[in-house]
């Protein structure tokens, strides 16, 4: 009896080992087959990315024009666009903090970049504002996203402004930066009107590498910003 039990136990152990090895063998074959089905040409293949159209236009056309206009011999002295800042302030967020969620989503769609929530630096009792409370949204664009936004803003968004008669040249800060306000986010084609919960405006600041307003004006004009020609920028004297 003991001999029979021993033999049956050995058979059961061998069967279990065979079944286990059989499963692992199938899994191994399946894994090898699955990996071999992926073409090697698609494993980490980098697709060519086209450079922004406006950046190429600046390098080939705008920069030589500005150098000739202002007599600049060093290419590093030629003004260029450094960054674009989009800022949305929401006073309603003091009582209804959830309104910022929709603004964050909309600004992310417009800019193609995740925005940052801005917090109050100090408390103001008269407005019911507490220090650290979220009251706005901001995003800073540089590089490729900056050039792509600039192109879309000039070519698509500005022409959608109602009764648009050109941009004022009186919004320079005396240090080569230009700020403007947009009354509603609906001018951007990325925004779906049916999904908008609340219409709001935003401030847009174009920061350049020059500290002279006349050079910044010439740069933005060459990049397509439609300024009114009868005004002159205000130069702040220090």
* Cα distances (angstroms) measured from residue 131 to each of 94, 116, 117, 197, 223: 11, 17, 14, 27, 40
Residue 208 gets which letter from DSSP?
Answer: E
Q: Where are the domains of the chain?
A: 72-91+137-222
Q: Alpha carbon 49 to chain centroid distance? A: 17
At the second CATH level, the architecture of 72-91+137-222 is 2-Layer Sandwich (3.30)
DSSP codes of every residue in 5-49: HHHHHHHHHHHHHHHHHHHHHHHHHHHHHHHHTS-GGGSSPPPP-
pLDDT of residue 95: 58
Query: 71, exposed or middle or buried, with CB in 10 Å at 0-12, 13-18, 19+?
Result: exposed
CB atoms within 10 A of CB 73: 7
| Strand 81-89, strand 177-182: pairing | unpaired
Contact between residue 82 and residue 208 where contact means Cβ atoms under 8 Å apart: yes
Q: Alpha carbon 212 to chain centroid distance? A: 27
Ordered per-residue pLDDT tens for the chain, 238 residues = 445 444 455 555 555 554 444 444 444 444 444 444 444 444 445 555 678 999 999 999 999 999 999 999 999 999 999 999 999 877 665 556 677 788 888 899 999 999 988 766 656 655 555 565 566 789 999 999 999 999 999 999 999 998 888 999 999 999 999 999 999 889 998 888 888 877 888 999 999 999 999 999 999 999 999 998 755 554 444 3
> What is the spatial distance between Cα 88 and Cα 90, in angstroms, rounded to a whole number?
7
Question: Within 13 Å and on the Cβ side, how many CA atoms surround 207?
Answer: 11
């Amino acid at each position: 009896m003991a001999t029979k039990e021993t033999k049956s136990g050995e058979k059961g152990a061998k069967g279990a080992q065979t079944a286990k090895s059989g499963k692992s063998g199938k899994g191994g074959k399946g894994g090898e087959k699955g990996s071999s089905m992926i073409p090697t040409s698609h494993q980490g293949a980098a697709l060519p990315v086209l450079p922004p159209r406006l950046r190429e236009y600046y390098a080939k056309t705008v920069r030589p024009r500005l150098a000739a206009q202002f007599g600049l011999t060093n290419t590093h002295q030629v003004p260029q666009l450094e960054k674009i800042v989009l800022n949305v302030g929401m006073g309603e967020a003091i009582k209804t903090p959830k309104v910022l969620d929709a603004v964050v989503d909309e600004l992310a769609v417009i800019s193609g970049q995740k925005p940052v929530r801005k917090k109050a630096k100090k408390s103001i009792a008269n407005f019911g504002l507490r220090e650290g409370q979220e009251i706005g949204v901001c995003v800073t664009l540089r590089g490729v996203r900056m050039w792509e936004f600039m192109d879309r803003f000039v070519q698509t968004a500005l022409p959608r402004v109602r009764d648009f008669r050109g941009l004022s040249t009186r919004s320079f800060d005396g240090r080569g930066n230009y700020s403007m306000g947009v009354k509603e986010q609906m001018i951007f084609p990325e925004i779906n009107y049916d999904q908008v919960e609340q219409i709001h405006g935003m401030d847009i600041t174009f920061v350049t590498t020059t500290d002279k307003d006349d050079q910044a004006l010439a740069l933005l004009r060459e990049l397509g910003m439609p300024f009114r020609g009868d005004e002159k920028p205000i130069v702040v004297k220090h």
